[in-house]
């Protein structure tokens, strides 16, 4: 069996509105940040993905009122001709350029059947409350507004077809976002090219892997199941962008912890030396190798190197997030479950090591730990083995913008 993808009729902005509509993903902003970001911009897609920004602050963000507001706002975007529905099913090419590095993906409908049959592989557990939020949003609005970011082992023939289209055609959108990331989108509307791409994925790509968007994917599958016999054709697929693995960049995903579990700084550092080689660092320490960590405490950086006999070589055991959990977070700091423990927080690498220093120096946190990024091969190995990664293991950057391409399930 191979994966099945298909073109779809995107709901998308008129070119003149694209920059105002395009918004950061719903799950990277809290309500307060979203309200500030959408201020003075009635065309921001945040009015649909974070519709609580249009309601009084005391309204529960998971109340039906929020989802109804999202639906009303989406209908208003359509009636005001801010967005329109493509006249025929198409594929779309989405190129991101960040700091001079480019990555190009194919936006398409991926099969809910493939998700349920594990042809679309997962590496993370989902949380029921986050799924419920997306299920309610999709069910009420009739739209999949959030894109699921999938990776696949790169195929030269697919690269050639997509590259050729980009060379010969002009993008329909070409936006430089306020964070300096370039977002460019091309429409593939030629039947012959659409059929060729569908066939290439069907014959050359046995699996895709969820890089970012486990909750969005799970929710799409559960919405289809809940619809039962009333499921539309549109509910059989979900909005995805497929990126070849050789173009992807995983960033570090760092940790900050509120207290030292009753230890003084010196005693904490002393305990570390059982499992790690501990050395003072001259400056902020970003690990350059696997099994190496940076640690910031009391205005001092240290480098930690895991001792050889302190971890196993299986796909999970060899991960730095596992080594950190088994040798430091659990035995020394008493953090048993990173998903539920309120003493730990996670800082995406895009924020830099300065963010770690800031949170410790302010007194909010007692210690910060920087990690080496997981590799895309490690992600594939874990998904292929049927295992899941520890929480908050991967941070993909740059991120796709919401609102440029939406899939209606109705």
DSSP states of 322-349 as a string? HHHIIIIITTTT----TTT-TTEEEEEG
Is 242 part of a structural domain of the chain? yes
Measured between alpha carbons, how far is 383 from 360 in angstroms, rounded to an integer?
A: 34
pLDDT of 205 over the 90 cut = yes
pLDDT of 389 over the 90 cut = no
Is 377 part of a structural domain of the chain? no
Tokens of 206: 């046995």
Measured between alpha carbons, how far is 226 from 134 in angstroms, rounded to an integer?
A: 13
Backbone angles phi, psi at 99, to 5 degrees: 50, 40
Surface-to-core class of residue 326, CB atoms within 10 Å of its CB (0-12 exposed, 13-18 middle, 19+ buried): middle
pLDDT given for residue 247 in this prediction: 93
What share of the chain has pLDDT > 70, as a percent? Answer: 100
State the residue range of the domain holding 274: 253-372
Place of tokens 């009303």: 72
Strand partners, 241: 107, 149
Please list, in sequence order, all residues whose beta carbon lies within 8 angstroms of the beta carbon of residue 113, skipping any fewer than 6 positions away: 4, 236
Measured between alpha carbons, how far is 58 from 252 in angstroms, rounded to an integer?
A: 35
Q: What is the DSSP letter of 119?
A: S
Are both 198 and 62 inside the same structural domain? yes
Q: What is the DSSP letter of 69?
A: H
Place of tokens 């796909």: 315
Instruction: Identify the helix (H) or strand (E) that includes residue 141.
Output: helix 128-141
Measured between alpha carbons, how far is 344 from 313 in angstroms, rounded to an integer?
A: 26
Is 391 part of a structural domain of the chain? no
Are both 174 and 114 inside the same structural domain? yes
Are both 45 and 94 inside the same structural domain? yes
Is 56 part of a structural domain of the chain? yes
Tokens of 247: 């173009």
Are both 156 and 41 inside the same structural domain? yes
Can you tell me the mean pLDDT for 353-360?
97
Are both 61 and 195 inside the same structural domain? yes
Can you tell me the mean pLDDT for 286-305?
97
pLDDT of 397 over the 90 cut = no
Q: How many domains does the chain have?
A: 2
Please list, in sequence order, all residues whose beta carbon lies within 8 angstroms of the beta carbon of residue 130, skipping any fewer than 6 positions away: 215
pLDDT of 349 over the 90 cut = no
Please list, in sequence order, all residues whose beta carbon lies within 8 angstroms of the beta carbon of residue 222, skipping any fewer than 6 positions away: 131, 135
Are both 311 and 274 inside the same structural domain? yes
Are both 184 and 146 inside the same structural domain? yes
Are both 53 and 171 inside the same structural domain? yes
pLDDT given for residue 249 in this prediction: 86
Tokens of 275: 């499992």
Higher pLDDT, 220 or 232: 220
Q: Are 311 and 318 in contact (CB under 8 A)?
A: yes
Is 101 part of a structural domain of the chain? yes
Mean model confidence pLDDT for the chain? 95
Are both 321 and 190 inside the same structural domain? no
pLDDT of 90 over the 90 cut = yes
pLDDT of 63 over the 90 cut = yes
Please list, in sequence order, all residues whose beta carbon lies within 8 angstroms of the beta carbon of residue 169, skipping any fewer than 6 positions away: 186
Confidence of residue 390 (pLDDT cuts 50, 70, 90): confident
Measured between alpha carbons, how far is 202 from 115 in angstroms, rounded to an integer?
A: 15
Are both 289 and 401 inside the same structural domain? no
Read off the pLDDT of residues 245-294 as tens digits, 9 standing for 90 and up.
Answer: 999 988 999 999 999 999 999 999 999 999 999 999 999 999 999 999 99
Is 220 part of a structural domain of the chain? yes
Is 54 part of a structural domain of the chain? yes
Is 385 part of a structural domain of the chain? no
Q: What is the CATH number of the domain that holds 285?
A: 3.30.1760
End-to-end CA distance of the chain: 28
Distance of CA 41 to the CA centre of its chain: 25
Are both 71 and 138 inside the same structural domain? yes
Place of tokens 């091309």: 186
Place of tokens 């991120």: 399
Can you tell me the mean pLDDT for 157-170?
98
How crowded is residue 164: how many other Cβ atoms within 10 Å of its Cβ?
11
Are both 100 and 116 inside the same structural domain? yes
Read off the pLDDT of residues 119-163 as tens digits, 9 standing for 90 and up.
Answer: 999 988 888 888 999 999 999 999 999 999 999 999 999 999 999
């Amino acid at each position: 069996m191979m994966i099945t993808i298909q073109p779809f009729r995107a709901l998308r902005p008129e070119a003149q509105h694209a920059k105002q509509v395009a918004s950061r993903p719903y799950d990277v902003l809290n309500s307060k940040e979203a309200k500030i970001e959408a201020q003075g911009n009635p065309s921001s897609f945040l009015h649909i993905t974070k519709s609580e920004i249009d309601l009084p602050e005391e309204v529960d963000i998971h109340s039906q009122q929020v989802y109804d507001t999202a639906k009303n706002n989406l209908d208003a975007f359509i009636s005001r001709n801010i967005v329109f529905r493509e006249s025929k099913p198409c594929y779309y090419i989405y190129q991101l350029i960040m700091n001079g590095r480019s990555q190009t993906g194919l936006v398409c409908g991926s099969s809910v059947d493939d998700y349920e049959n594990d042809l679309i592989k997962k590496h993370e557990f989902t949380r029921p409350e986050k799924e419920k939020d997306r299920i309610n949003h999709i069910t009420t609005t009739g739209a999949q507004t959030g894109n699921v970011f999938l990776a696949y082992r790169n195929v030269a023939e697919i690269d050639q077809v997509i590259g050729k289209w980009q060379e010969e055609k002009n993008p329909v959108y070409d936006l430089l976002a306020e964070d300096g990331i370039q977002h460019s989108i091309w429409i593939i509307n030629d039947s012959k090219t659409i059929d060729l791409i569908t066939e290439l994925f069907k014959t050359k790509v046995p699996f895709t892997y969820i890089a970012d968007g486990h909750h969005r994917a799970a929710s799409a599958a559960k919405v289809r199941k809940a619809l039962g016999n009333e499921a539309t054709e549109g509910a059989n697929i979900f909005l995805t962008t497929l990126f070849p693995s050789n173009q992807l960049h995983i960033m570090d995903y760092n940790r900050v912890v509120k207290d030292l579990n009753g230890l003084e700084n010196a005693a904490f550092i002393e305990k570390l030396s059982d499992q790690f080689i501990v050395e003072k660092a001259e400056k902020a320490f970003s690990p350059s190798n696997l099994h190496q960590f940076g640690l910031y405490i009391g205005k001092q950086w240290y480098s930690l190197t895991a001792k050889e006999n302190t971890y196993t070589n299986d796909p999970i055991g060899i991960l730095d997030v596992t080594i950190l959990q088994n040798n430091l977070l659990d035995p020394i700091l008493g953090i048993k479950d990173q998903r539920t423990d309120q003493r730990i927080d996670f800082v995406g690498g895009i924020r830099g090591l300065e963010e770690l220093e800031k949170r410790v120096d302010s007194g909010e946190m007692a210690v910060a730990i920087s990690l080496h990024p997981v590799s895309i091969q490690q992600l594939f190995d874990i998904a292929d083995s049927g295992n899941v990664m520890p929480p908050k293991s991967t941070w993909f950057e740059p991120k796709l913008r919401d609102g440029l391409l939406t899939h209606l399930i109705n």
